[in-house]
Amino acid sequence: MADLFPDRIVELGTGFWRSKVLLSAVELGVFSTLAQGPLDGETLRARLGIHPRSARDFFDALVALGMLNRDRDRYANIPETDLFLDRAKPSYMGGLVEMLNFRLYGFWGSLTEALRTGQPQNEAKSGGGNLFEALYSDPARLRLFLQAMTGISLGAARAMAQKFPWKQYRTFVDIGAAQGGLPVQIALAHSHLTGGGFDLPVVGPIFEEYVASFGLADRIRFQPGDFFTDPLPQADVLVMGHILHDWDLDEKRMLLHKAHTALDSGGALIVYEAIIDDERRRNAFGLLMSLNMLIETRGGFDYTGADCAGWMREVGFRETSVVHLVGNDSMVVGIK
Ligand SMILES: C[S@@+](CC[C@H](N)C(=O)[O-])C[C@H]1O[C@@H](n2cnc3c(N)ncnc32)[C@H](O)[C@@H]1O
C-alpha cells in the first residue's frame, strides 16, 4: 500500500483541463498570432484581447504542456504548433481542434447518458436523422466538419502516400473524401496518379476549393454520390477513411461488398482509421474513437484489424493485410 499513489488518477481525471487549454488557444488564435514572430506576454495578451488576470498562467500552461516555448518573457510557437495550428498556412489542421471545441467538448459531457441509453448525444439527439443529415443542414457546421476531417487524416494520408505501393496503380478514388485531404496528399506525392473523391453532392464545392488551392484540379475530380443508393466509382484503388466506423455491422458489410463489386480483379481497397489492436488493450485512442461514435452516430463503432480483414474476406477479397501508418492509425488492405 505504501508504494501506491493516486497521481495517475488525478492526472487522468483532470485531463480535460489540458485539452480545453489547447482548444481555447486555437479559438483565441494564439498560434496564428505567434506565427508572425515571438511576442512578450503583455503584447500577446493585448493582441488576443484577453483579460490580464490569467493570461500569464494560460501562456505558461501552454509552455508546460509543450505547445509553446518561452525565452525569458517572450513566447514562441514550437515547430508543430507553427506548422499545423497557424491559420494562414495550408498545413493548418486546427479544423479538428475547432470541431472538438465547438461540438464534441460539450457533447462528451453527456457520455454517461450515452452509455446508459446507447443513443447519440450530438445534433442528432433530438432529430431523427443521421450524423451527416444533422451536420450538413448548416453550411458553417458542414465546412467545420470537413476541415476537421482533413486535420484528423493528415498524418495517415502522408504515411499512406509512402507505405502503399502506389507505383503499381494508376487511378484511385477516396470514398467519403470530405474536403479531399487524403487525395491531395496522395496526388502530391505521386504525379502519375489521377483520382477523385466521392462524397455527398453538398460536399462538392468545399472539396473543389481545397483541391484547387493545391493546383490539383486537373488530376483530382469530385464525384457526387450517395454510397447507400449509388454504386461506388471504379478505380484501381478505393480508399475508405473513417467511413466504416460511422455505421453498424450490416452497413459496414454492405459498403465493403460495394467496394469489392466496383474493383477489377487485382484492385485494392484501403480501409484506414484508428484500427484497434486485436487484443483491444493498447490502442486507447481507437477505443475512445469508438466511444466517440457512440456520441456521434446511431450504430457506429470502431474495430480491430482482424475484424476488418475478416469482413473483407467474407465479401470476397482474396488477400488482406494490416499495416501500421502513423500514431494510432493503421490501414487494412484488401486485394480482389
Ligand atoms: C467521418 S468522415 C471521413 C472523411 C475522410 N474520409 C477522412 O477520413 O478524413 C465521413 C465522410 O463520409 C461522407 N458520407 C456520409 N454519408 C455518405 C453517403 N451516404 N454517401 C457518400 N458519402 C457519405 C461524409 O460526407 C464524410 O465526408
User: How many angstroms separate the Cα of 224 from the Cα of each of 34, 64, 195?
Assistant: 39, 46, 14
For 110-167, write each residue's pLDDT tens digit. 999 999 999 999 988 877 678 888 788 889 889 989 998 998 999 999 999 999 999 9
For 249-281, write each residue's pLDDT tens digit. 999 999 999 999 999 999 999 999 999 999 999
Give the confidence band of 21 by pLDDT, cuts at 50, 70, 90: very high
In contact, 196 and 182? CB cutoff 8 Å: no
Pocket test for ligand 1, best of 131, 135, 246 (most atoms within 8 A of CB): 246
The stretches of 35-138 forming alpha helices (DSSP H) are 41-48, 52-64, 79-84, 94-99, 105-107, 111-117, 131-136
Q: Write out 301-319 in H/E/C secondary structure.
A: CCCEHHHHHHHHHHHCCCE
| Residues in a beta bridge with 319 | 335
> What would the grid cell of residue 262 be?
466496383
In contact, 240 and 255? CB cutoff 8 Å: yes
- Among 200, 303, 284, residue whose Cα is nearest residue 245: 303
User: How many angstroms separate the Cα of 233 from the Cα of each of 78, 174, 319?
Assistant: 42, 10, 21
Determine the distance separating the centroid of ligand 1 and the alpha carbon of 116, expressed in angstroms. 27
Does residue 192 carry a catalytic annotation? no
In contact, 254 and 229? CB cutoff 8 Å: no
Burial 113-131 (b: 16+ CB within 10 A, else e): ebeeeeebbbbbeeeeebb
> What would the grid cell of residue 19 be?
485539452
pTM to 2 decimal places: 0.93
> What would the grid cell of residue 230 be?
449509388
The stretches of the chain forming alpha helices (DSSP H) are 7-13, 15-28, 30-34, 41-48, 52-64, 79-84, 94-99, 105-107, 111-117, 131-136, 139-163, 181-189, 204-213, 249-262, 284-296, 305-315
For 223-248, write each residue's pLDDT tens digit. 999 999 999 999 999 999 999 999 99
> What angle in degrees, to the nearest 10, is found between the helix axes of 305-315 and 249-262?
50
- Among 13, 4, 107, 21, residue whose Cα is nearest residue 68: 21
Residue 316 identity: G
Q: What is the pLDDT of residue 141?
A: 85
Ligand 1 binding pocket, CB closer than 6 Å: 132, 149, 152-153, 176-178, 181, 199-200, 203, 226-228, 241-243, 246
User: Which residues contact residue 116 at a Cβ distance below 8 angstroms, ignoring those fewer than 6 apart?
Assistant: none
Q: What is the mean pLDDT of the chain?
A: 96
Q: What is the pLDDT of residue 175?
A: 98
Among 190, 242, 245, 260, the one annotated catalytic: 245
Determine the distance separating the centroid of ligand 1 and the alpha carbon of 264, expressed in angstroms. 23
In contact, 292 and 302? CB cutoff 8 Å: no
Q: In this model, does residue 189 exceed pLDDT 90?
A: yes
Q: How far apart are CA 283 and CA 71, in angstroms?
A: 36
